[in-house]
Amino acid sequence: MIHSKPTRNLALDLVRVTEAAALAAGRFMGRGDKNAADKASVDAMRLVLNEVEMDGIIVIGEGEKDEAPMLYNGEHLGTGEPPQVDIAVDPIDGTRPLAHGQYNSLSTVALSPRGTMFNPGPFVYMNKIAVGPEARDVIDIDASVEDNLKAVARAKGMDVNDVTVVILDRPRHEKLISEVRRLGARIRLIPDGDVAGALMTSMPETGIDILMGIGGTPEGVLAACALRCLGGNMQGKIYPRNDVERQKGIELGYDLDKVLKLEDLVSSEDTFFAATGITGGELLHGVSYTGAGATTDSIVMRGLTGTVRRIMAQHRFAKLSRISAINY
């Protein structure tokens, strides 16, 4: 048996990034100002990412589809020292739930070796299907909803009417929702935050079996990084919003009919993922403030080892305020 020297687990650096973003954004819960929350989380995330010992380039950035403050695609972050990595960020996955004081908003970030993350170019939406380890080999995004639900049910040893599907609550999913209901499966509609939805398919305690529907490409790549760590699976297809976007993609050489498998979305197993809850939900507790500071709940993962950690952290603002530029 060949043993190799343990390498640095960058996920343990990334959790400081998502904690900072969550603490900065959490102050805006229920205030109805999505852009102010986004700006606070972006500023905090950028500051701490630049402290991580890495030569990083953002491949999956934030803000383009909703004109919010951004971490730009192509932006260089980190100290500039090796390793060279691709970065995917979503400082707030679920800005609307955060703004309205609802559940399941997270701060997320993922890394993988340089050149291994899918670059969606002009496309900000993709059709997705995601499952946990038990059903990882049975999904097919080109198959019917019925075939996929039956396949997942068989793989998990349950009936279709016991399967729970998580779907973004959008008008574009009206037909999908009707079909799932016709087949007798249960549905968990979520207002935003399909990174959390995808992760929950790989965590039995959440009761979610499959994610289906059209969501953001940044969220798709982030979820793919996490699912590589968790042993789950995802497939996607680019979803042009209009003819202009479709034509631009064709001119850039994108195959709009191609099924993007997990290995296409992130081609390396050496992935790192971190998420911190901002508002509470099935996946993570939200930021809890006290007079002296706050408590955060995070999950960190490493694809190479499959290690998943839950980290509960207590933050003391009196000390942080003396050394940090972030306004907690």
Residues tagged in the binding site annotation for substrate:
93-95, 125, 170-172, 192-194, 216
Q: Give the Å distances, CA to CA, from 209 to 116, 190, 255.
A: 27, 14, 29
E strand spans, the chain: 55-60, 76-77, 84-93, 106-113, 125-131, 164-168, 186-190, 210-216, 233-238, 272-277, 288-289, 293-302, 307-316
Neighbours of 76 (CB within 10 A): 12
Indicate the SS3 state at residue 308. strand
Q: Beta strand 164-168 with 186-190: parallel, antiparallel or unpaired?
A: parallel
Specify binding-site residues: 38, 62, 90, 93-95, 125, 170-172, 192-194, 216, 219
Closest by Cα among 31, 213, 214, 207 to 105: 31
How many residues are given for the chain? 328
Distance CA 23, CA 31 (A): 15
CA dihedral (144, 264, 240, 123) in degrees, to 10, reads: 150
Residues making up the binding site for Mn(2+): 38, 62, 90, 93, 219
